[in-house]
Amino acid sequence: MALVVRNVSISFGGTLAVDAMDLDVAASEIVGLIGPNGAGKTTFINCVSGAYQPNTGSALWNEHELIGLPPHQQLRLGIARTFQNVASLHDLTILDIVKLGANMRGDLSMSARIAGMFRSEERLEQELIETLLRPLKLADVAHKPIQTLSYGHRKGVDLARALASKPELLLLDEPVAGMTAQEGMAMAGLIREVRDRFGCAVIMVEHKMDVVNSTCDRITVMASGAKIFSGSPVEVQRDPEVRRVYLGED
Amino acid sequence: MFFIQLLSAGIATGSIYALIAIGIVLIYKCSGVVNFAQGAYAMVGAYVTYALTKLGFPALVAVLASMMVLAALGIATERLVLRPMLRAPVVAVMMATLGILIFAKAICLAIWGPDQIAFPKIFPEGSINLGGIFMTYNYVAAGVLSATLCAAFLAFYQFTSLGLMQRCAADNSRAALAIGIHVSNQVSIAWGMSAALAGLGGTLLATLNGLSLGLEAIGLVAFPVIVLGGLTSLGGAFVAGILLGVLEAFTDGLLTPAIEDFLRAYTNVYSVGALQQVVPYALLVLMLLVRPQGIFGRRGTERI
């Protein structure tokens, strides 16, 4: 197992948002995290990615403890995440944001990092446009400010930014929310393609079941902060408890 | 010809203003603090350069070393004063920077005394003749050096990856943090760079006007510059700095004699004093009344 999460709990005030969650992700596996609104999916991702400090629990990534590690240190371990609500940056262009991701790659040495800080990077820019922005249909707007894009396209930029850091573990928080059904399926295809090309493991929080079913190798279902089921997409569809809690059947 | 003479002198001093104002804007963008200690950095930079040349270091080494000392001082300020005040109101932090200014002035007073000191010659003596315009090497060097450095710094900020991280941290620090930028390091870097730029500005100013505690007043002149340029625009600070320098030169060379001629003809008043020192602040008041966000500022920019 590449990522081993054990017994992660976090409460806000008296509310237990995540309750003793366990999750295992193998190398280059795509795991979907689904569940009703308020199930604690995003909170769980926030605990693993260092945005929140959980009350208990551990998350080991190749022997490194991730809990409490700030984002810039997680990037050095090859972990990148995207956000449900894309951060608002006013002054930066789309290419700038993707470049930020590329500049924070984990596999660079300290000296290469410092040298890179003072270089302008035309070749890198071309490479990023061709390999990341072109497949996301964002190549033509690369030099525009990100605020000019729709919500769905901004999510694409956020994904490109995360991918530019060449992650080994990618945490995606609702990657297709706000997209049309067509764009959503295209994004799902891209996520699989990225996994096949870079071999990274992926955890994705998502609501759209068609996207989850066609993208994920395994699905974990959360309800009220706890894991209630884990299995292949077919198994999840068949499980009576999941159908009752999440898919809305009696 | 006199006109061009004034213009070139104005551009030279204006570039130094720009150098110091850019530092204030940089710090404001990154940490939201209006740094009153910028004048102190300029003054300390000049004194450190002076001390190093006294110790026998060559001029160039002394200037570079003083910039490094100032960078360290800027980073130390951020780590030791700003960071513990992270949750304090911005006004409290600004008062702390004012305290640093007073403290630095007292230290310099204790070490070097209150008198004006002849600044060591960093650039060769003499002047050049550019088609009838005479400029001393001091002015040429100060102008060219600070203008080049301003331009280089703007390019650095716009085109390198460290500049990109600076821009991202300045744009939205929470977002920058979330996508993995070490924001507090970026703020330290901004303070270091600002202090180094101000230190060089102070040294250059001392080559023109001599070395004294009064150098810290440049920190105040920088405020009309950033109000004129817009508090959040580095390019604006550059343009406004040069504009103000030119304006001062014209006031000194054209407006003051004209007003004095007028007054002498019709009244008993003989002199109007150093009118060029009033102009920046008159402009400051006017600008705040008419367009508080500055020439290049944007909506949402705070007034100071």
Residue-level pLDDT, tens digit, chain A, 250 residues: 689 999 999 999 888 899 889 999 998 899 999 988 888 899 999 999 888 899 998 999 988 899 988 888 898 888 999 987 776 787 789 999 998 888 877 556 666 666 666 666 677 888 888 888 888 888 888 898 888 888 888 888 888 899 888 889 999 998 888 788 888 888 888 888 888 888 899 999 988 888 888 889 999 999 888 888 888 988 888 888 888 877 666 5
What is the least distance, in Å, from the CA of A197 to any CA of chain B? Answer: 23
Q: Nearest CB to A72: which of B160, B170, B181?
A: B181
Interface test with B, best of A81, A82, A92 (most B CBs within 10 A): A92
What is the least distance, in Å, from the CA of B193 to any CA of chain A? Answer: 14
Find chain B residues with C-beta within 8 A of A51's C-beta: 178
Residue B77 falls within a domain, yes or no? yes
Find chain B residues with C-beta within 8 A of A99's C-beta: 161, 164
CATH 3.40.50.300 assigned to A3-245? yes
Q: Give the domain ranges of chain A.
A: 3-245
pLDDT at A87: 65
Residue B57 falls within a domain, yes or no? yes
As beta bridge partners, residue A10 has A18
Residue B29 falls within a domain, yes or no? yes
Residue B273 falls within a domain, yes or no? no
d(CA A18, CA A3) in angstroms, rounded, equals 18
pLDDT at B36: 92
- Contact check, Cβ <8 Å, B160/A96: no
- Contact check, Cβ <8 Å, B161/A89: no
pLDDT at A249: 60
Query: Structural domain of residue B182, as residue ranges?
Result: 2-216
pLDDT at B134: 81
Between chain A and chain B, the number of residue pairs with CB atoms below 8 A apart is: 68
Interface test with A, best of B157, B159, B161 (most A CBs within 10 A): B161
Complex ipTM value: 0.81
Residue B61: pLDDT above 70?
Answer: yes
Residue B271 falls within a domain, yes or no? no
Residue B154: pLDDT above 50?
Answer: yes
Residue B304: pLDDT above 50?
Answer: no
d(CA B233, CA A56) in angstroms, rounded, equals 45
What is the least distance, in Å, from the CA of B281 to any CA of chain A? Answer: 30
| pLDDT tens digits, one per residue of B48-57 | 999 999 999 9
A interface residues, B as partner, C-beta within 8 Å: 51, 70-72, 74-75, 80, 83, 87-92, 96-97, 99-101, 103-104, 116-121, 161, 165
Q: Which of B37-46, B145-154, B171-180 has the lowest mean pLDDT?
A: B171-180
Q: What is the mean pLDDT of residues B26-47?
A: 92
HSE toward the beta carbon, residue B132, CA cutoff 13 A: 5
Residue B191: pLDDT above 90?
Answer: yes
Residue B237 falls within a domain, yes or no? no
Residue B227 falls within a domain, yes or no? no
Q: Residue B301: pLDDT band by 50, 70, 90 thresholds?
A: very low
- HEC per residue, A130-177: HHHHCCCCCHHHCCCEHHHCCHHHHHHHHHHHHHHCCCCEEEEECCCC
- How many domains is chain B built from? 1
Residue B304 falls within a domain, yes or no? no
Residue A231, H or E segment: strand A226-231
Q: Which of B7-11, B89-93, B271-275 has the lowest mean pLDDT?
A: B271-275
DSSP conformation class of A5: E
| pLDDT tens digits, one per residue of B95-144 | 999 999 999 999 999 999 898 888 888 888 888 887 777 888 888 888 99
Strand pairing report for A79-81 and A169-173 = parallel
Find chain A residues with C-beta within 8 A of B174's C-beta: 87
What is the least distance, in Å, from the CA of B167 to any CA of chain A? Answer: 8
Find chain B residues with C-beta within 8 A of A89's C-beta: 168, 171-172, 175
pLDDT at A248: 67
Find chain A residues with C-beta within 8 A of B169's C-beta: none
pLDDT at A119: 62
pLDDT at B302: 47
Residue of A nearest to B158 (CA): A120
Find chain B residues with C-beta within 8 A of A118's C-beta: 156, 160-162
Q: What angle do CA A238, A239, A241 make, to 5 degrees?
A: 145
- Contact check, Cβ <8 Å, A92/B160: no
- Contact check, Cβ <8 Å, B161/A72: no
> Residue A96: phi, psi to the nearest 5?
-55, -45
Q: Which residues contact A158 (CB under 8 A, 6 or more apart)?
A: A82, A83, A86, A87, A97
Residue A75, H or E segment: helix A71-76
